[in-house]
Amino acid sequence: MTSQIDLIPGRLREAVARDGETIVYVARERLLEAMTWLQQTPGQEYDYLVDVTAVEYRDRERAIEVVYFLRSLSRKTDLRVKVELQASDELTVDSVWGLWHGADWLEREVYDMFGIAFRGHPDLRRILMWETYAEGFPLRKDFPLRGRFSRAEQVRQALNANPEAHYSLDELSIADAWGDIPDDMRERLKRGERGTVPE
């Protein structure tokens, strides 16, 4: 088994977790190559993506890790693959959506919570927080538990928010409804707060 792990493209080093699982650290540039190899090589066949998440340590010197939990359903084995990102660097990795479609929402959640961008993801939007959320990335260690804004500021923002924005006028095709929407909403759209005003 160990000799097989040596063959993973871009492999940096290994570790063993306390639950006995093998962790393989992979170079960030070669992640997609390594994942493709793990999924498609006979004898590996990691066909199931269990989870994608990220870990930031309290020690700020340590790199932020993106963790992939892989499983081979036929061989009934698990493998943990990690990519290390320096917080000072650009937080970007390649998306594995092309290999496992299950990565779609998982990567969106990591992006939402940690601000790690996935290159090549088809629809990288915030998922749990709302699209206009301005306080940053909640699961980062520099994000205070109570949020970045004071309660007063949060209330102020909520009261000043455009309630229609919550209904994502883009999707509800404002162009169609232009004649029917209330005047104040039309004003906001003209100011360019949301969507594009039809000709």
| CA 93/CA 32 separation, integer angstroms | 9
Query: Given its phi and psi angles, is residue 64 left (phi above 0), alpha (psi -120 to 50 degrees) or beta?
Result: beta
Stretch that binds other proteins, among 85-93, 152-160, 167-175, 181-189 (CB under 8 A): 167-175
If you ran DSSP here, which 8-state letter would residue 70 be given? E
DSSP state of 29: G
* Contacting residue, 29, 51, 89, 184, with other proteins by CB under 8 A: 51
Subset of 23-42 contacting other proteins (CB under 8 A) = none
Interaction of residue 57 with other proteins, rule CB under 8 A? yes
Q: Tell me how far apart the alpha carbons of residues 29 and 27 are, in angstroms, rounded to a whole number.
A: 6
Binding positions for other proteins, 103-122, rule CB under 8 A: 103-106, 109, 113, 119-122
C-alpha 28/C-alpha 26 separation (Å) is 6
Query: Which residues does 12 contact at the CB level (< 8 Å), separation at least 6?
Result: 25, 26, 27
The reply on whether position 149 binds other proteins by CB under 8 A is: no
Considering the complex, state which of residue 37 and residue 143 has its C-beta at the smaller distance from other proteins.
143
Name the DSSP letter for residue 178: T
Q: How far is the CB of 84 from other proteins (least distance, A)?
A: 14
Footprint on this chain of other proteins (rule: CB under 8 A): 17-19, 21, 47-51, 53, 55-59, 67, 69, 73, 76, 78, 80, 97-98, 100-106, 109, 113, 119-123, 126-130, 138-139, 143, 145, 167-168, 170-173, 175-176, 195-196, 198
